[in-house]
Amino acid sequence: MRRVSEVMTHGVEVISPQASLQEAAQLMDLLNVGALPVCEGRKLVGMITDRDITVRAIATGLIPNDTAVSEVMTEHTRWCYDDQTTDEVLQQMSDVQIRRMPVLNDQDELVGIVSLGDLATREPEGIGQLLRDISSPSEPDRSAL
C-alpha cells in the first residue's frame, strides 16, 4: 500500500492568518490554486479557499484589503498524516466530500497537501467511486435567507 507521502504535493505555499484577503487572492492567482493552507509557522490553523473569499467575504460586503484571512477561513480543517495509506485518505476525503487535504508529519507540522488529482494520477483504483461520493450534491445552506 502506498503512503500519502509518496503521492502528495510537497513544498506547499501557505498564508498567515493575519494576511489580508487581497494578499490571499493574489497568491492564489500567482500559484493558480483555489485553496491555501493557513499556518502560524508550520502549524496548520485553517484553510482559505477562493470560495471562502467570494461567499464569506465579498458577498457579505467585507473589503478584501481590510479583512484578515482569519476572519473567513475554515478553522476546523480536515487533515491527514504523511504516513497514512492512500486508501485511508481516500476514505476520509469521501466521508466529508473534500477534494484536497493538508498533510501533517508526526510533529503536527504541515508538510504537504494531497488532492483528488494527486490520488487519481497515482492511485486510479477507487477514484471513480470517490469522485461520485465527493461530487454528490449537498443541500444549499439557506439559514441566512
Reference 103, options 13, 15, 5; nearest CA is 5
- The answer on pLDDT for 126 being more than 80 is no
Higher per-residue pLDDT: 68 or 140: 68
CATH of 4-135, one of 1.10.3330.10, 3.40.50.300, 3.40.50.2300, 3.10.580.10: 3.10.580.10
Task: Return the domain boundaries, the chain.
Answer: 4-135
- The answer on pLDDT for 134 being more than 70 is no
CB 55 within 8 A of CB 34: no
Reference 56, options 45, 68, 44; nearest CA is 68
Global pTM value = 0.83
